[in-house]
């Protein structure tokens, strides 16, 4: 298990251009325990709407760097072997281009009952086994996403599902690329295809739920995000977005003049519960 501690530090201002969000990724083994430890992590930067902004792989005790970041609120999600292990929130607001430093410290704690050769992670997300050539193509598509070359990424991903239409991970990535580009109808179709192939795939459930929230369909979001939490009970992201969906549904009911106090109270209680679970 990894516990995240973020340390904000001021940076030096620059003239012109976007902001740079960077920091050190530190992994400490405070208990001095044995077993496999990761050599790198994937860091994904999401905007406040849940859209992926950038992604990069960072070695342990290395430095991450996201360039050209606009003013706004973000989340940095730390992934290990497709499993979320930490999430850090950061706000970037400045009238001029600025370096914003946010260090992330992870404490390595192998789970009780794990064998020495196993990493300290609660669970490993589902992964589609593809051919070596398709795997290389998938990595190329991921690189294109990192470079914000979304048309190229979509073309590569379409090539992959043309070769193997059962690849639910690729359908999910296609949905994410479409979501980033605000093509919500296309994203919805891709997510639904992924879920037809693997109804319990947590990432597709969560992203489809975020899409429903972007469409203001909070009841639809609740259905998908409940399933996402059921598939990944320990996912901070899934719990966070489910809590957010309950909160938004309560606010929507209030705006519509609902007098169902018991229902509103229940929505509020559920929102508080899942938002706490995300901490």
100 domain residue, yes or no: yes
Residue 67: inside a domain: yes
The pLDDT mean for the chain works out to 78
* CATH number of the domain where residue 27 is located: 2.60.40.10
Query: 48 lies in which domain range?
Result: 2-108
- Whether the pLDDT of residue 243 is over 70: the answer is yes
Most confidently predicted of 55-59, 126-130, 151-155, 237-241:
151-155
Higher-confidence position of 24 and 232: 24
Q: What is the pLDDT of residue 88?
A: 83
Which is more confident, 32 or 25?
25
Residues 145 and 270 reside in one and the same domain: yes
CA 88 to chain centroid:
11
pLDDT, greater one: 230 or 270: 230
Q: Is 116 a domain residue? A: no
Residues 76-88 have a mean pLDDT of 81
Average pLDDT over residues 260-266: 63
Does pLDDT of 187 surpass 90? Answer: yes
Give the residue-averaged pLDDT of 181-188. 92
Same domain for 235 and 100? no
State the pLDDT confidence band at 154, using cuts at 50, 70 and 90.
very high
Q: pLDDT tens across 87-129, in order? A: 888 888 777 888 888 888 887 655 444 433 333 332 334 678 8
In a domain? residue 124: no
Residue 118 placed within a domain:
no
Supply the pTM of this predicted model: 0.54
141, 268: one domain: yes
Residues 14 and 145 in one domain: no
């Amino acid at each position: 298990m990894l516990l995240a501690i973020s340390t904000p530090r001021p940076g030096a201002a620059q003239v012109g251009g976007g902001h740079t969000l960077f920091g050190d990724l530190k992994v400490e083994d405070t208990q001095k325990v044995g077993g496999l430890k990761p050599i790198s992590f994937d860091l994904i930067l999401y905007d406040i709407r849940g859209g992926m902004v950038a992604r990069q792989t960072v070695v342990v005790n290395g430095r991450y760097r996201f360039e050209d970041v606009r003013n706004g609120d973000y989340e940095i999600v730390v992934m290990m072997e497709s499993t979320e292990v930490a999430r850090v929130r950061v706000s970037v607001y400045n009238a001029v281009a600025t370096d914003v430093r946010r260090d992330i410290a992870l404490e390595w704690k192998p789970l009780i009952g794990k064998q020495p050769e196993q990493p300290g992670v609660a669970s490993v997300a589902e992964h589609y086994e593809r051919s070596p050539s398709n795997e290389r193509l998938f990595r190329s598509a991921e690189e294109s996403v990192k470079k914000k070359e979304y048309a190229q990424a979509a073309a590569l991903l379409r090539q992959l599902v043309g070769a193997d239409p059962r690849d639910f991970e690729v359908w999910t990535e296609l949905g994410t690329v479409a979501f980033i580009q605000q093509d919500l109808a296309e994203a919805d179709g891709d997510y639904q295809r992924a879920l037809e192939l693997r109804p319990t795939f947590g990432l597709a459930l969560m992203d489809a739920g975020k899409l429903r929230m972007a469409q203001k369909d909070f009841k639809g979001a609740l259905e998908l995000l409940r399933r996402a939490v059921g598939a990944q009970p320990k996912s901070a992201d899934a719990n966070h977005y489910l809590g957010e969906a309950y909160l938004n549904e309560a606010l929507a009911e209030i705006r519509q003049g609902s007098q169902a106090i018991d229902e509103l109270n229940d929505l509020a209680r559920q929102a508080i519960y899942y938002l706490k679970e995300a901490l």
